Structure 1
């Protein structure tokens, strides 16, 4: 073979090999961008709402297993623990009271608020021991009251005490729900503001003084919300929409047959079907369309009332020294993200 021809041949071979290598690299990059995680970790609390129903009905499995994704549920007794898990990057989704969402934003935990599970009502309440003699909020003066700090119950308790003008005349103790029951049984506390299913246990020997439904009527609405880890949402936006789809499916099932939904949840909460149904009726479940209304999220183009409530709550928590800085309106609007609900609704049409 002529030397010039041989040299040209060698360069041609090298060029082809390099081209294949580049193309192979591009193909690999494209494949990486379309892969899904092997497992999704979901933080949950034992509350009879759409997340719990979606869990027991297998709606999350329906959404993810066909994509080869395992679903793991991690129980948290409060949003404080869930926020710690988010900060360490060990969970992808979690439910909590929205006041802990305020804390998450304040601490710059990389998460977004993407769903309102329920608007709280009679399922969160202030209960006093019958033997304490407490019948009104004013009667709590000088008493010991327990609640999980930075929770919706904590916020509601402080607002109730503030309205009665006795916020400085009581002792408030920070306790998780299991500790509240134990302290109640020992007689260490006079009252507690807490949620279900702990609330049902306290009501057996206690008297309801006020609840979150009454406080909402006074302008202090509280909700349970869903947060998603920002890095997860940015990498797998469709998986976030799929998650909300499972919640919407659970909402539909509840609206069609509340009694059947309660019966399916009851066992996971160690409650009777009747107790579960009563608790579920104590809050308001929102459809995706309702969440996008001006009363709640609003839309990506026009924010709703919820962002204002969120900001007002942040100001209150700053006054209580639960957070060290009030976020700006822009920060709240970036944190409260209705875009995934919008995609869900658009896909349903």
Structure 2
């Protein structure tokens, strides 16, 4: 499915949900300061977002608001949907968010939450006989373009003295990578679970993981983005959304089995497999996020702005974006108010 098709699917799903809600006559009126509808874009990533979705916490916390969940395959698709005006809040990796905040996209959204810091759940995997990243010269490599793995693939090639012109690079979504791998069309792919786990089951070996690249300065994360207009019009609803995400992080830390059970159900996995994937990510509480190390505060931008700026500089050097925005642009894109509010409660 192309990004345009995904955006159209999201639009159709939202429209159908509105029609059904209108026909049932059962919807409550939204509370003061709450939207009539909240359109959320999520991905099949084992973090707190799936816990919130599975348990229906947001529906309970905003009973008068229709919550519309739409699944996306990558952050590039999320950016396309935002540009089409189809989303209010969504999950996207730090690299696609960096692209979204840069020219030519220049999407009017902000970052109110960090879903997870990416570790070994994303990796560059290769077929037998390819032992080093440098061995990929002249080989066929797949990655979802405009994703965190695309950014990390470029970084890994750069470290090995290669560029994207030195490999046959294919832009494939995760499910298409799995199909191409089964056909024997690929030598390597940089992708995330659950497809990464399927490649391992078929004999693929990791050349480098995102966690290893992060230790060398190439930090990536799965971020939440919210339309600036939505954040300004519905700050209470946004804070409620953050509160439920923080609740999910607490469950992941204090009752891991319950959290894993919810994630496993959403991903159609066995709990043991879901638990293994959960362990490869770092989850941060609202208190931790509202600190200098991450989102910062209303008065002092956090370190995340610097990571996004570094990502932008690298992408600009590689010709992936027009130019890297100023540091102030990334600082202004951080929206820590919800995390601050939840941390104080």
Same fold (TM over 0.5): yes
Determine which of 77, 83, 87 is the counterpart of 1:87: 83
Q: After the TM superposition, which of the residue ranges 258-267 and 150-159 deviates more from structure 2?
A: 258-267
The 8 Å contact of residues 59 and 249 in structure 1, kept in 2 or not, is answered as no
User: 1-side partners of 2:338 and 2:261: how far apart?
Assistant: 30
What residue ranges of structure 1 are gaps of 5+ in the alignment?
A: 1-31
Whether the 8 Å CA contact 1:92–1:232 is kept in 2: the answer is: yes
The Cα offsets for residues 163-189 of structure 1, whole Å up to 9 and x where unpaired, read as 111224222211111111111111111
Post-superposition offset of 1:320: 2.0
Alignment match, 1:171: 168
Structure-2 residue corresponding to 1:344: 342
Deviation at 1:35, TM superposition (A): 5.2
Aligned partner of 1:242 among 240, 243, 259 = 240
- The answer to whether 1:186 aligns with 2:173 is no
Distance in 2 (alpha carbons) for counterparts of 1:34 and 1:262: 34
User: Which residue is 1:284 aligned to?
Assistant: 282
Which TM-score applies when normalising by structure 2? Answer: 0.87
Equivalences for residues 130-149 of structure 1 within 5 A:
130=128, 133-149=129-145
In the alignment, the residues of structure 2 paired with residue 304 and residue 44 of structure 1 have an alpha-carbon distance, to the nearest angstrom, of 24
For residues 100-128 of structure 1, the C-alpha deviation after alignment (integer angstroms, 9 at most, x for no partner) is 11111112212111111100001001111
Residue of structure 1 equivalent to 2:24: none
- Cα distance in 2 for partners of 1:102, 1:305 equals 14
SS at match of 1:185: helix
2:124/2:207 contact within 8 Å kept: yes
| Residues 1-349 of structure 1: pairs in structure 2 closer than 5 A | 34=32, 36-65=34-63, 68-106=64-102, 107-130=105-128, 133-167=129-163, 168-205=165-202, 206-346=204-344, 348=345
Could you tell me how far 1:33 is from its partner in structure 2? 11
Answer with 323-332 or 240-249: which moved more: 323-332
2:34–2:236 Cα contact (<8 Å) kept: no
User: Contact 1:292–1:298 at 8 Å: present in 2 too?
Assistant: yes
Aligned CA distance change for structure 1 residues 33 and 208 (closer, same or farther; 3 Å) = closer
Number of positions where the alignment pairs a residue of Structure 1 with one of Structure 2: 312
Contact 2:33-2:237 at 8 Å conserved across structures: no
For residues 129-161 of structure 1, what are the alpha-carbon distances to aligned partners after superposition, in whole Å with 9 as ceiling and x for unaligned?
23xx11221222221111111111011111111
Secondary structure of 1:244 counterpart: helix
Deviations 1:60-113 (A, max 9, x none): 112111xx1111101111111111111122111000101111111112212111
Contact 2:312 2:325 in 1 (8 A): yes
Partner of 1:21: none
Structure 1 stretches of at least 4 aligned residues deviating more than 6 Å after TM superposition: none
Aligned to 1:299, what secondary structure does the other structure show? coil
Aligned residues of 1:126 and 1:209 also touching (Cα < 8 A): yes
State which structure, 1 or 2, has the greater radius of gyration over its C-alpha atoms: 1
Q: Distance in 2 between matches of 1:317 and 1:166?
A: 15
Q: In structure 2, how many angstroms separate the alpha carbons of the residues matched to 1:169 and 1:322? A: 16
Please tell me the root mean square deviation across aligned C-alpha atoms, in Å: 1.5
Q: Distance in 1 between matches of 2:226 and 2:80?
A: 13
Aligned to 2:12: none
Q: TM-score, normalised by structure 1?
A: 0.86
Q: Does the Cα contact within 8 Å between 2:123 and 2:190 map onto a contact in 1?
A: yes
Query: Counting helix residues as a fraction of each chain, which structure ranks higher?
Result: 1
* Alpha carbons 2:141, 2:189 under 8 Å: kept: yes
